[in-house]
Amino acid sequence: MKNKIIYIAGAILIIILFFVIKNISPLSGTETNQENSSQNNVDKIDINPSVPDITLPLSNAPKDVAWALFQKYLQYNKEQNIEGVKSVVYKISPVCADPKTIIDCKARMGQAYGYGSVLKKEDFVNVWEDEKQIILATDFKFEETDVTMGRFRAIIYFIKQGGSLKMLSFSPFKGNATDKGAASREEVIARLTIYTEDKDKDGIADYIEECIPADIKATCVSTNPKLRDTNGNGFWDGTEALIK
C-alpha cells in the first residue's frame, strides 16, 4: 500500500513538471535570443536604397558629376594619356594636337596634374549649372606679400555637349594682383575687388567684360557685366569666351 502511494505521488509530480516546462514563455529562453538575432540580421540586409537618409556612393548632383569628370581628367594627365584627355575635354590644346610639340604637351599635362591635384572638392562652394554648362568655383581669397596683394579663386568650367559633360577649362588662380604702393590696405582690397568681382556669376570678371584693362582693349569684345548671357544664346559670357 505504501509503495502504491509513492508510485502515485511520483506520477503526479512528473505530470506537474511536464505542464510547468510546457508553459515556459519562449521570450525568456535561448531560442528567443537566436530568433531576435536572426530578425536583426534581416533588418540590416533589407534596406531600401531609396530612403533619403541612406547616402549612396554615386550621385547625380551637378557638383558630384562635374568633380568626377575633373578627377578623370587629372588622372589622364598624370598618366600622360593624350587620348584619354581628348575623351573628356571640349577641345584639346593646340600644343597637344600637333605631334611635333608632344614634349611640350606632356610638360603641360604634368603642370595640369600638379595644379589640379591639390584642389579640394569641399572648397568649391559655388556651383552654377543649367542645361548648357556647369561652373564650379571657390570663394575669393586674398594673398599678400610685402609689396603685392592678390585676390584669387579656383574655377572649373564644363560644357554640356551632345548629352554628355565635357571639361572646358580650369584655373587654380583666377583673379588679379597689384602692387601695394603707397595705398592703404583697405584701398588695395577695394581696388582688387573691382578688378575681380563677378556679380553676374558667369565665370568672367566684370572688369574684363567691360574691356577696361589696357592690354586687352584692342581685341576685347565687351559683354554686359549685369547679364550672365549677353547675347542670349544660352552660353554664359565666361563659358562662351572659352569655346570660341
Does a structural domain hold residue 80? yes
pLDDT at position 244 is 79
Is the pLDDT assigned to residue 159 strictly greater than 60? yes
- Are 179 and 158 spatial neighbours (Cβ–Cβ below 8 Å)? no
Does a structural domain hold residue 55? no
What's the pLDDT tens digit per position in 80-126? 999 999 999 999 999 999 999 999 999 999 999 999 999 999 999 99
Does a structural domain hold residue 82? yes
**Alpha-carbon gap, residue 193 to 176, rounded angstroms:** 9
pLDDT at position 14 is 41
The residue range of the domain holding 89 is 62-196
Is the pLDDT assigned to residue 175 strictly greater than 90? yes
What's the pLDDT tens digit per position in 44-82? 223 333 333 333 445 899 999 999 999 999 999 999 999
pLDDT at position 58 is 58
Does a structural domain hold residue 10? no
**138 three-state secondary structure:** coil
Give me the number of domains the chain comprises: 1
- Are 228 and 200 spatial neighbours (Cβ–Cβ below 8 Å)? yes
Residue 123, domain CATH: 3.10.450
Does a structural domain hold residue 87? yes
How much is the average pLDDT of 141-151?
A: 96
- Are 177 and 213 spatial neighbours (Cβ–Cβ below 8 Å)? no
> Residue 22 forms beta bridges with which residues?
none
pTM over 0.95? The answer is no
Does a structural domain hold residue 220? no
> Residue 238 forms beta bridges with which residues?
none
- Do strands 133-137 and 141-144 pair parallel, antiparallel, or not at all (unpaired)? unpaired
Does a structural domain hold residue 164? yes
Does a structural domain hold residue 140? yes
